Amino acid sequence: MQSYPNAVSPTENGEWTYDTIEKMREITLQAMEKKAGIWKYIDDILLPMELRFLTRRELPLKYCVDLKNGLLYSPQYYFKVYIENRLFFYPKDVLAAILERFKPTSDCEEWLHKAWRILQGRG
């Protein structure tokens, strides 16, 4: 697993370690509240994905999960998730994300919805 809130992948054993992610989210919320570190400037800076789009014209590639409500968004809709609730998944891991617990939003591809319904026993 990479550092929060970057894209996550399963551990070498194929496990997901959300407890670490939740701890990092709590620390992030505390830093935001105190306006510590980058949070003092968050309204005046570009996030890496925004900078890549502006300088290289690269569209977002990673799916974004809202840790607060458990919803999975297509890459182009990451901005719908508050920054402190974002968790990114590489496209190769997006199926594992819905296997774990995250529900695709209406903007996601139909195959993700079909897979999610099957996993929920609603096939």
List pLDDT tens digits, range 46-98. 888 788 888 998 888 899 999 889 999 999 999 999 988 888 888 988 888 88
CA distance 33 to 116: 35
DSSP structure class, residue 14: S
pLDDT at 7: 54
Q: 71 versus 120: which is more confidently predicted?
A: 71
pLDDT at 123: 63
Position 41 confidence tier, pLDDT thresholds 50, 70, 90 = confident
The full DSSP string for the chain is -PSTTS-B---TTS---HHHHHHHHHHHHHHHHHT-GGGGSGGGS--HHHHHHHHH-PPP-SEEEETTTTEEE-GGGGGGS-GGGEEEE-GGGHHHHHHHTPEEPTTS-HHHHHHHHHHTT--
pLDDT at 109: 93
* Residues 44/74, Cβ–Cβ less than 8 Å: no
Q: Residue 103: is its pLDDT beyond 80?
A: yes
CA distance 20 to 3: 9
